[in-house]
């Protein structure tokens, strides 16, 4: 008897359910993510005749594993099943090396956006523990303001805004996915200083990944302009990321007045 309740469909349904749940619970649910969540919910309904198998028994099925050949009329399932299996097993792929385990379409990754979100989320999670009074905001969204004090004005768009309980902004940060072998480019320094002036911040930080063999590492002060301190933070993405994340959180927190512990700068 023909049925839609197959191991392959159960695998696909579970992957769609996991992704839809993940996007639905995201704190950063912008328009693009809401659209994707809606598409996942629509896709989930296509598998209404397949069981949502939390025991994941379908992972033992040869067709899901790829050890058996799919019927020619279902060849298009292969790539989808490979990706679904990764989602269900919480696995990942190496984008920097060749392989034959999973066939996927070409990906274009905006690493500047990925690095920016990564740094912001690291600080947001870290500050929730050591400085819950401070909010780590996206200057393109909830932390945005006009560049000038009154209209007409284009918006100021720092990547990270640290907001204090009194609504002041002690720190603004701009994240550049440009490996640092020396000081930030003059344009990047000028940009973050402009943002700091707009937000009345006392600290401006340019965050960059560390270039290979670069002597620059972690927090360095570039200089002062009256009461404004200008810093560069260099993060070594090739090192132990747990240590790098902890160092970033501690260094930025120490720049904010009222942090109980301080670090040497």
- Confidence at residue 263, expressed as pLDDT on a 0 to 100 scale: 38
* CA–CA dist 247, 218 (Å, integer): 8
pLDDT class of 262 with cuts at 50, 70, 90: very low
Position with higher pLDDT, 33 vs 241: 241
pLDDT digits (tens, 9 = 90+) for 20-61: 888 877 766 677 778 888 899 999 999 999 999 999 999 999
pLDDT digits (tens, 9 = 90+) for 159-174: 999 999 999 999 999 9
Report CA-CA distances (Å) from 106 to 16, 33, 111, 144: 21, 21, 15, 34
Nearest CA-CA partner of 28 in 135, 127, 137, 110: 137
Residues in the chain: 265
pLDDT digits (tens, 9 = 90+) for 217-231: 899 999 999 999 999
Q: Could you tell me the two tokens for 227?
A: 């009461």
- Confidence at residue 193, expressed as pLDDT on a 0 to 100 scale: 97
Q: Could you tell me the two tokens for 131?
A: 């400085």
As to burial, measured by CB atoms within 10 angstroms (0-12 exposed, 13-18 middle, 19+ buried), residue 217 is middle
Nearest CA-CA partner of 147 in 198, 190, 188, 191: 198
221 strand-pairing partners: 231
Position with higher pLDDT, 39 vs 98: 39
pTM more than 0.75: no
- Confidence at residue 97, expressed as pLDDT on a 0 to 100 scale: 61
- Confidence at residue 259, expressed as pLDDT on a 0 to 100 scale: 57
Mean pLDDT of the chain: 87
- Confidence at residue 99, expressed as pLDDT on a 0 to 100 scale: 60
- Confidence at residue 29, expressed as pLDDT on a 0 to 100 scale: 66
Among 5-9, 108-112, 241-245, which is the least confidently predicted range?
108-112
CATH architecture, range 111-255: 3-Layer(aba) Sandwich (3.40)
pLDDT class of 111 with cuts at 50, 70, 90: confident
- Confidence at residue 3, expressed as pLDDT on a 0 to 100 scale: 82
160 strand-pairing partners: 173
Nearest CA-CA partner of 132 in 165, 110, 104, 158: 165
């Amino acid at each position: 008897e023909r049925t839609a309740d197959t191991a392959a469909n159960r695998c696909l349904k579970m992957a769609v359910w996991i992704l839809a749940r993940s996007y639905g619970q995201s704190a950063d649910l912008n328009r693009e993510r809401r659209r994707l969540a809606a598409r996942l919910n629509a896709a989930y309904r296509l598998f209404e005749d397949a069981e949502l198998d939390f025991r994941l028994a379908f992972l033992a099925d040869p067709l899901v594993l790829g050890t058996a050949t799919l019927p020619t009329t279902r060849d298009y399932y292969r790539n989808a099943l490979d990706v679904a299996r990764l989602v269900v097993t919480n696995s990942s792929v190496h984008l920097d090396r060749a392989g034959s385990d999973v066939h996927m379409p070409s990906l274009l990754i905006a690493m500047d956006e990925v690095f920016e979100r990564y740094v912001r989320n690291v600080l947001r999670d870290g500050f929730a523990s050591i400085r819950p009074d401070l909010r780590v905001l996206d200057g393109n969204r909830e932390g945005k303001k006009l560049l000038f004090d009154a209209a007409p004005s284009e918006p100021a768009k720092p990547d990270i805004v640290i907001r204090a309980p009194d609504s002041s902004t002690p720190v603004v940060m701009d994240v550049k996915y440009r490996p640092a072998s020396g000081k930030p480019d003059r344009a990047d320094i000028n940009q973050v200083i402009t943002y700091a002036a707009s937000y009345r911040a006392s600290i401006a930080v340019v965050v960059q990944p560390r270039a290979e063999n670069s002597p620059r590492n972690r927090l360095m002060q570039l200089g002062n302009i009256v009461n404004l301190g200008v810093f560069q933070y260099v993060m070594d993405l090739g090192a132990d990321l747990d240590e790098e994340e902890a160092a970033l959180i501690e260094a930025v927190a120490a720049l904010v007045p009222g942090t109980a512990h301080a670090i040497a700068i």
